[in-house]
Amino acid sequence: MKNIKLLFILFFLTALTACGQQKKYVSYTVKKGETIRSIAKDNDMKVRDLLRLNPDVSRKPDANTVIIIPNKKKKATTTANTYKGKVHTVKRKETLFSIAQKYNVTVDDLKKVNDIIGNNVSIGRELKIPLKKKEVVETPKDEEVVETKFNTHIVEKDDTVFNLTRRFDITEEELFEMNPTLNSKDDLKLGMTIIVGEKSEEIEESLFVDDITSKPLNVVLMLPYKVNSTSDYNMQFKKKSSLLNVVTDFHSGVLVAIDSLRKQGMRINLKVVDTENNVGKITSIINSTDFDEVDVVVGPLFLKNAKIVAKKVGSIPVIAPMYSKNQTSISEGSLIKVAPNKKLVEDKLINYMFDNYSGENIVITGDAGAKSVAKIARVATRLKSHDSISEIKILKPEKGYIKKDRFIEVIDTVKRKNWVVFIGKDNVTTNDVVNNLGVMSKEKAKIQLFSFGNGSHFSNVSNNQLARLQFTYPKEEFVDITDDAVKYFRKKYKKKYHAYPTKHAIKGFDVTYDALLRLSSFDSFNEGAKAGVSQRIGTKFDYRKKLFGSTENKGVFLIQYQEDLNLKVLE
């Protein structure tokens, strides 16, 4: 029996030694006082090579830090010697997805050639990299730039793990697997580049399928590429990005729209001119351009400049894409205002409440700012103008916040459903309202929360609470990232420009596509504007022509949070 035990122990030790020899690298626990330099010296290697194996470890790691080092007992025959293709040694925090990205291969091919089952791979393991067609077999250099097969996204303001997974149709687990530097939701930082999925190989010929006539259209695109003055931009956009970025993004959207329409058979002649955001330059362009053959002018970017063009070109439609604070005072016969007036946003919500009122308990609350207080009074007066609404409760902050007990006093927990309208932009008050209402029992208190927008003051509140309260708000622009047309547009744009479209690119597409389609289908834009409401990627078009003025877009979305956290367009 003792001999059998001895043979078993010897066999186990031999097998263990053999397994250890299969690894080119092994883990090592740093001892007190050791540095990367001293460990590298003990292992007969360069400091930079050891740091490459452990990219997230400092030159003076803490004691008990686990790193990987070369296996001194490794046999001379390794995967690198026997395999004629590229070989990669797995480093800390690397995943199959990140390795596949580095070498421009798929995860499935990587798993297949290395006989890997599942998605885990151990540190130090040597992976054979699948050979691509007509590939020259050579070891990749660390500095080599490899064209990626994966889509990337630069994290923008208000991006969260939740909305990224919805936008790119991936799971949270897949997002973390594709981005090993993301250990938690808190690691998502503004400006960082993340992987959001593999590139699609197939792109269809056109985004939408519409009835296209053979009538040719001559389009003039007027944008400020070389800007002499940015005062208008700073006043209207107040963004860190440059006006040139806005212009080029808008222009790229215009080109995607024209490309899509051309593929459906529309004949389009495009002329692009630079206004320089300068009145003198715009006047010069007008005087030197024969507008007799022009069907539509897209731009200029700023409304006051678009008015100058509209005044000079007669009946030719001039489409002003951007909102202006002076919008109500600017009007001209052929001017087409794409951005809805701000009053229409307020009207959208008020009219919805009028149409759906059936005896609800109405509470209006908000912050203590002067503008908010004035708006609370105005909205209360408007709601009371409804024949059936006689009582409205108003709840204002005391000492900067609103206690939960005060909400309990005004919320009906017996008979009626409660409509709570929030007005203001203060972060603290927003949190008070959402959190205090969100924790109330759904069985006892049926509450629906309304607001006139979903600005940044809502970014720090729980989406779950907003969904629980059926949060409802109007919005001038809305992109449903779960919609198939939106997903396809993003893929098409990504393929053309190697980046996902910004809101300005979407605006450029929507404005151009809708306008050219209306012009193509009718004798004039005014006739086309009467054809009805349309919606493209992020803009709703519901045009109304003033009796002695410009044509205005009244298209406003009404959005509501659903229980599954999706956003639904009510109107």
CA neighbor of 256 nearest in space, from 477, 534, 513: 513
- Say if residue 442 is exposed, middle or buried (CB neighbours under 10 Å; 0-12, 13-18, 19+): exposed
| pLDDT greater than 90 at residue 404 | no
Give the span between the Cα atoms of 164 and 481, in whole angstroms: 9
| pLDDT greater than 90 at residue 540 | yes
Sign of CA dihedral 254, 259, 264, 265: positive
Give the span between the Cα atoms of 518 and 520, in whole angstroms: 5
The one-letter amino acid at 544: R
Q: Give the CATH architecture of domain 344-475.
A: 3-Layer(aba) Sandwich (3.40)
Other CB atoms closer than 10 Å to residue 534's CB: what's the count? 18
Identify which has the larger pLDDT, 148 or 544.
544
- Say if residue 444 is exposed, middle or buried (CB neighbours under 10 Å; 0-12, 13-18, 19+): exposed
User: Which pLDDT belongs to residue 422?
Assistant: 94
Task: Report which DSSP code applies to 548.
Answer: T
Angle separating helix axes 342-356 and 370-384, nearest 10 degrees: 40
| pLDDT greater than 50 at residue 19 | no
User: Which pLDDT belongs to residue 536?
Assistant: 87
Give the span between the Cα atoms of 555 and 536, in whole angstroms: 12
Q: Are 320 and 336 in contact (CB under 8 A)?
A: yes
* Listed range (369-383, 418-432, 481-495, 531-545) with the worst mean pLDDT: 481-495
Identify which has the larger pLDDT, 117 or 416.
416
Q: Report the predicted TM-score, pTM, of the whole model to 2 decimal places.
A: 0.63
Q: How confident is the model at residue 107 (pLDDT cuts 50, 70, 90)?
A: confident
Give the span between the Cα atoms of 64 and 167, in whole angstroms: 41
Task: Report which DSSP code applies to 293.
Answer: G
Give the span between the Cα atoms of 437 and 160, in whole angstroms: 23
User: Which pLDDT belongs to residue 25?
Assistant: 64
Q: How confident is the model at residue 135 (pLDDT cuts 50, 70, 90)?
A: very low
Give the span between the Cα atoms of 547 and 527, in whole angstroms: 14
Q: Are 79 and 87 in contact (CB under 8 A)?
A: yes
- Tokens (6 digits) for 383: 């709601």
Sign of CA dihedral 523, 525, 529, 532: positive
Give the span between the Cα atoms of 461 and 214, in whole angstroms: 52
| pLDDT greater than 90 at residue 296 | yes
Give the span between the Cα atoms of 504 and 493, in whole angstroms: 13
User: Which pLDDT belongs to residue 7?
Assistant: 42
| pLDDT greater than 90 at residue 451 | yes
H/E element, 262: helix 243-263
- Considering the four listed CATH numbers 3.10.310.30, 3.10.350.10, 1.10.760.10, 3.10.129.10, the one that applies to the domain covering 150-198 is 3.10.350.10
Cα 315 to chain centroid distance, Å, stands at 38
Q: How confident is the model at residue 2 (pLDDT cuts 50, 70, 90)?
A: very low
Tell me the pLDDT of the chain averaged across its residues. Answer: 80
User: Which pLDDT belongs to residue 56?
Assistant: 66
- Tokens (6 digits) for 394: 């108003």
Sign of CA dihedral 163, 324, 310, 346: positive
Best-predicted range by mean pLDDT (6-10, 19-23, 134-138, 559-563): 559-563
| pLDDT greater than 90 at residue 152 | no
Helical H runs in 290-416?
303-312, 342-356, 370-384, 404-410
Rg of the chain over Cα atoms, rounded to whole angstroms, equals: 31
Q: How confident is the model at residue 308 (pLDDT cuts 50, 70, 90)?
A: very high
| pLDDT greater than 60 at residue 193 | yes
Delimiting residues of CATH 3.40.50.2300 domain(s) in the chain: 217-339+481-556, 344-475
CATH superfamily of 217-339+481-556: Response regulator (3.40.50.2300)
| pLDDT greater than 80 at residue 76 | no
Best-predicted range by mean pLDDT (36-45, 208-217, 523-532): 523-532
User: Which pLDDT belongs to residue 204?
Assistant: 46
| Alpha-carbon torsion, ordered 186, 191, 193, 194, to 10 deg | 30
Give the span between the Cα atoms of 169 and 429, in whole angstroms: 34
Note the pLDDT tens digit of each residue in 251-278: 999 999 998 888 888 889 999 888 888 8
Task: Report which DSSP code applies to 181.
Answer: T
Beta-carbon contacts of residue 134 (< 8 Å; ≥ 6 apart): none
Give the span between the Cα atoms of 120 and 415, in whole angstroms: 56
| pLDDT greater than 60 at residue 202 | no
